[in-house]
Amino acid sequence: MTLMPAERIRNVKKSATRLLFDRAYPGSINLGLGEPDFPTPEIVRRAAISFIEEGRIGYTTNAGLPELRQRIAAYHNEGSGSRFTPDSVCITNGAEEALFVVIMALAGPGDDILLPNPAYIAYPAIAEIAGTTATYYHMPAERGFSFDRESFSQGVTERTKLVVLVSPSNPTSRVIAREDLQFIAECLEGSEIYVVADEIYRELYIDARPSSISDFYDKAIIISGLSKMMSMTGWRLGWAIGHEEVIRHVTLMHQYASTCASAVSQRAGIAAFTDEGRKATAEMREELRRRRDVMARAIDRELKLPYVSGEGAFYIMLDVSRFGASDDVAMRLLEERVITVPGSAFGSEADGYLRLSFSIDASLIEEGIRRIAKGILRTT
């Protein structure tokens, strides 16, 4: 049987990351991992078990448990006043659903969405599904994937409805500096353009916690969640937070997409904002910093190739341009039983790079880099 899908998804393809994972050999070292490899903190697991043992578990309100929304609002108000309230928050099934419902609620045919290049693969896919036109501002590889003011300002036009910012970045781990966020706010001042700020990696920083565009621009909608900062990817708990009027529209879209996020995950999520939960994030952050150094030293020792190591998240961008297109290199490395992610999956600026994750045990990081070296040397 031949199925003709709806027009909105005909050009949407399965991610290159998943294609590589599907073709990987058993026992491969996974340096393509896009999630923390730490256990979910005990305090969160205990809270979930306790709630399950209470008995009946039903729907929550569409926007989510009031106590959790209060905790989320307080978290985003830290150091910047009290502009967010529980009504500023819509809790979703992961940050990706938050991205989806925000874009679907606020943009449609005839609108442009300005996206970073390179960036997470979901943004252009959701823009396509929403019927919008994706346009791009570039984070140039030759400048270490840093924010480019000229490219950004040229990308903003009268058709722009939404601007997406990602800091720290997936795939580059780069952070948009505070002064560049101020520049963005000045560029958009007086417009009706909303900024969708993906801050899912914000708590996984190397030296200093990144600033938020919401400190400078009122029309900002922050996307975040507990997947990265609490190692809760499988719990599917994210949120959108912004102006209450905007969040009402977002919550309406969320209502018809999934009714509400898991009640068990929401109740467990409350524990993430306790002192014990925050301490677990700090410990994970410190270990990731150590693993970043392990990977950097291994690259210097085994590969002697250029790379970009950013200020947050848990990725290093390895320059393999001298060995061919990044997707070809990544496919060849599967033969060495090591999984990487080609930069081309994230946009043209990252072609020639591999995204390597250091969210894996240090001994596996070192062996994975040795396998990359072996695979590259075998093909030269």
Alpha-helical segments (H) within the chain: 16-23, 42-53, 66-77, 94-106, 122-129, 149-155, 178-188, 244-258, 263-272, 275-302, 326-333, 362-378
**Residue in this structure with the two tokens 């003709």, named with its chain if needed:** 4
Distance from C-alpha of 173 to C-alpha of 11, rounded to nearest angstrom: 28
- The CATH class of the 42-274 domain is alpha beta
Which residue spans of the chain are classified as CATH 3.40.640.10?
Answer: 42-274
Pick the CATH number of 9-40+277-378 from 3.40.50.12280, 1.10.3720.10, 3.90.1150.10, 3.50.50.60: 3.90.1150.10
Which residue spans of the chain are classified as CATH 3.90.1150.10?
Answer: 9-40+277-378
Is the model's pTM score more than 0.75?
Answer: yes
Tell me the HSE value of 187 on the side-chain side, using a 13 A CA sphere.
Answer: 23
Residue 30 DSSP label: E
Tell me if residue 186 falls in helix, strand or coil.
helix
pLDDT in tens, the chain (380 residues): 566 677 777 777 666 666 777 788 888 999 998 999 999 999 999 999 999 998 789 999 999 999 999 999 999 999 776 689 999 999 999 999 999 999 999 999 999 999 999 999 999 999 999 999 999 999 999 999 999 999 999 999 999 999 999 999 999 999 999 999 999 999 999 999 999 999 999 999 999 999 999 999 999 999 999 999 999 999 999 999 999 999 999 999 999 999 999 999 999 999 999 999 999 999 999 999 999 999 999 999 999 999 999 999 999 999 999 999 999 999 999 999 999 999 999 999 999 999 999 999 999 999 999 999 999 876 55
Distance from C-alpha of 79 to C-alpha of 289, rounded to nearest angstrom: 24
Query: Nearest Cα to 63, choosing from 223, 273, 266?
Result: 266
Amino acid at 188: L
Q: How many Cβ atoms from other residues are within 10 Å of residue 153's Cβ?
A: 14
Report how far Cα 110 is from the mean position of its chain's Cα atoms.
26
